[in-house]
């Protein structure tokens, strides 16, 4: 009886797992097979022929390139990395200030930041478009980075604030009586302790930028600034859809995101170890 229960439980888990992963698996499989096969009915689960044609096509330097995926990838990497570095730097300082200092209107400012996160980004798209057009930074990486920094700063502040709060304030106090300036105490003691948390926050911010579609679709126009999610739409022609190409570019997007997610979860699970304090 117990066995049956256990086995049926695992079957249920397996079923749900497949259900959840199916679209992802389908994308992976489809990225490596010829386009016509994707639309075959009944569905062909195991490709007859594996091919990396879509990838070579996408990244071919010479010859005809229908979709400049390499350029999109570079745009994505640059925009996501730069915006993440800026957002985490500002966020770290902000989070530290919120965690450690008392200043007037602290709670209201914090609430304001959180509310800013609550506004759906897409509702800002029109004003942003007009503003950026007037400033002449429409369709530039700089413009996208600016938007992503604004989007991520409240988020990184919120996360790092939590991580710094977990570090007892005696840590920095004892460092300061040990001869550190506030900055030295931060650098030598608090930052190493909050390090994993800050790393995780940075990866979250990176993923948000990496996957962002709505705002980028408004501000980016050409290959000059388009990111991967936007570039994906290039496979939508007026009359045909290159499903295989789309799946291939999706794989290029998903793989780094997956790897980063694994890194984050490891850090979040391991958490911070506070052996220095009692208990």
Q: 112 vs 271, which CB is nearer to another protein?
A: 271
Q: 186 vs 210, which CB is nearer to another protein?
A: 186
- Quickly list DSSP for the chain: -HHHHHHHHHHHHHHHHHHHHHHHHHHHHHHTS-HHHHT-SS--SS-SS---HHHHHHH-SSS--SS-HHHHHHHHHHHHHHHHHHHHHHHHHHHHHHHH---TTHHHHHHHHHHHHHS-GGGGHHHHHHHHHHHT-TTSHHHHHHHHHHHHHHHHHHHHHHHHHHS-HHHHHHHHHTT--HHHHIIIIIHHHHHHHHHHHHHHHHHHHHH--HHHHHH--STTT--HHHHGGGGB-SS-B-HHHHHHHHHHHHHHHHHHHHHHHHHHHH----TTS--
Q: Is 89 in the site for another protein (CB under 8 A)?
A: no
Site string for another protein, 256-275 (x = CB under 8 A): -----------------xxx
Q: 121 vs 168, which CB is nearer to another protein?
A: 168
Site string for another protein, 180-219 (x = CB under 8 A): xx--x---xx--xx--------------------------
| Minimal distance, residue 184 CB to another protein, in Å | 6
Site string for another protein, 140-179 (x = CB under 8 A): ----------------------------x-xx-xxxxxxx
Count the site residues for another protein by CB under 8 A.
Answer: 23
**Where on the chain is the footprint of another protein (CB under 8 A)?**
168, 170-171, 173-181, 184, 188-189, 192-193, 273-278
């Amino acid at each position: 009886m117990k066995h049956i229960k256990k086995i049926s439980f695992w079957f249920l888990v397996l079923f749900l797992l497949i259900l959840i992963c199916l679209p992802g698996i389908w994308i992976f499989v489809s990225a490596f097979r010829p386009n016509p096969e994707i639309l075959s009915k009944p569905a062909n689960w195991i490709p007859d022929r594996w091919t990396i044609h879509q990838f070579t096509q996408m990244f071919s330097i010479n010859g005809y390139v229908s979709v400049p995926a390499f350029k999109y990838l570079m745009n994505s990497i640059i925009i996501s990395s730069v915006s993440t570095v800026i957002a985490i730097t500002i966020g770290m300082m902000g989070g530290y200030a919120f965690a450690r200092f008392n200043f007037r209107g602290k709670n209201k400012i914090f609430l304001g930041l959180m509310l800013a996160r609550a506004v759906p980004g897409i509702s800002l798209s029109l004003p942003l478009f007009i503003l950026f057009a007037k400033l002449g930074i429409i369709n530039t990486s700089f413009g996208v980075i600016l938007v992503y920094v604004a989007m991520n700063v409240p988020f990184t502040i919120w996360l790092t604030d939590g991580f710094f709060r977990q570090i007892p304030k005696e840590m920095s106090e004892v460092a300061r009586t040990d001869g550190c300036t506030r900055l030295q105490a931060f650098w030598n003691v608090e930052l190493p302790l909050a390090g994993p948390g800050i790393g995780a926050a940075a990866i979250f911010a990176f993923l948000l930028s990496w996957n962002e579609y709505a705002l980028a679709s408004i501000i980016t126009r050409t290959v000059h600034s388009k990111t991967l999610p936007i570039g994906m739409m290039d496979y939508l022609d007026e009359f045909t859809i290159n499903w295989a190409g789309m799946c291939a570019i999706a794989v290029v997007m998903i793989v780094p995101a997956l790897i980063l997610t694994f890194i984050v979860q490891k850090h979040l699970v391991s958490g911070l170890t506070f052996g220095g304090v009692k208990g």
